[in-house]
Amino acid sequence: MQYIIPLLVIAGTIYFVIKLRKKPLAETPAEWDEILEKNVRFYQRLNPNQKVIFKDEMLNFINEVYIEGIGFDLEEIDRVFVAASAIIPVFHFRNWRYTNITGVIIYPDNFNQKLGYEMNVEDRWISGMVGNGKYENQMILSRKALHHGFKNKTDKHNTAIHEFVHLLDKLDGEMDGIPSNFIGQEYVLPWVNLMHKEMEKINANKSDVRSYGGTSQIEFFTVVSEYFFERPKLLKRKHPELYKMLEMCFNPKIDKTV
């Protein structure tokens, strides 16, 4: 008998927490639809029910992660592109929350290693990065690259999705291009073999995967993930094995949207 009240309290708390986590904190703004339909191919391919879920997940992300524009006034389209990039890689995961990001900082254009972004600073070649040290749990993006990722429909390239996939790779404790949490231990070796085979082709100029994917395992995983989300049909046709492996990683069998 003395356990009943504590048990009720625990059950009530669990129920409340689940409800809170599942329920978006507000209605999604009407202009999101127009922006998503016009620019985000992943969203265009979803059915109406999935589109509602996608927007709810975006809203949850925006409520949990601070997005800041430096040197320009942030617009709704910037927020929509950041949140869409966050949700695309994890859309088929059940009740997913990023635990390793609290803020996204956006500069107008590319920036350098010291986060200099003004026109007069040198070596501004970085378009996106996952921060560390002082910037741990922060993502830094170029606004130009963020927009380019969605507006160019044919280049298999999307900087913001790339950076969010780095965050997923980081989750198993090591950023190594091996998403062992997602594909399962038994597929680690096949993944590594497949990765090295394709990296060799990239570096011999015999692959249509962007050359940056040949620079390291870490970048290979993110570059082919961009390809997977931007041009899935093309990837399936040109690289069926790679497609199958990425499908296993990002579209696990238990699909919350079915």
Q: How far is the CB of 159 from Zn ion (least distance, A)?
A: 9
Token pair recorded at residue 136: 């741990």
At its nearest, how many Å lie between Zn ion and the CB of residue 10? 43
Query: Please, which residue, 216 or 257, has the CB nearer to Zn ion?
Result: 216
Per-residue tokens: 202:
């990239």
Footprint of Zn ion on 217-256 (CB under 5 A): 219, 222
For residues 240 and 24, give the distance between their C-alpha atoms in angstroms, rounded to a whole number. Answer: 37
What is the rounded CA–CA span in Å between residue 74 and residue 59? 17
Q: How many residues line the site for Zn ion (CB under 5 A)?
A: 2
Restricting to residues 164-223, name those near Zn ion by CB under 5 A. 219, 222
105's tokens? 């900082």
- Listed as own residue / partner, the contacts of 126-134 with beta carbons closer than 8 Å and 24 or more positions apart are 127/159, 128/159, 128/160, 128/162, 128/163, 129/163, 130/163, 130/166, 130/167, 130/170
- In this structure, the number of other CB atoms found within 10 A of the CB of residue 197 comes to 12
User: Smallest distance, Å, CB 235 to Zn ion?
Assistant: 18
Q: How far is the CB of 215 from Zn ion (least distance, A)?
A: 9
Q: How far is the CB of 212 from Zn ion (least distance, A)?
A: 7
* The token pair that represents 234 in the structure block: 């093309």
Closest CB to Zn ion among 78 and 219? 219
Residue 176 Cβ, how far from Zn ion at the closest point, in Å?
13
Give the type of residue at 51.
Answer: K
Q: Which is nearer to Zn ion, 207 or 225 (CB)?
A: 225
Cβ distance to Zn ion smaller for residue 219 or 230: 219
Binding mask 99-118 for Zn ion (x = CB under 5 A): --------------------
What x-and-dash track marks residues 131-160 binding Zn ion by CB under 5 A? ------------------------------
In the complex, which residues of this chain contact Zn ion (CB under 5 A)?
219, 222
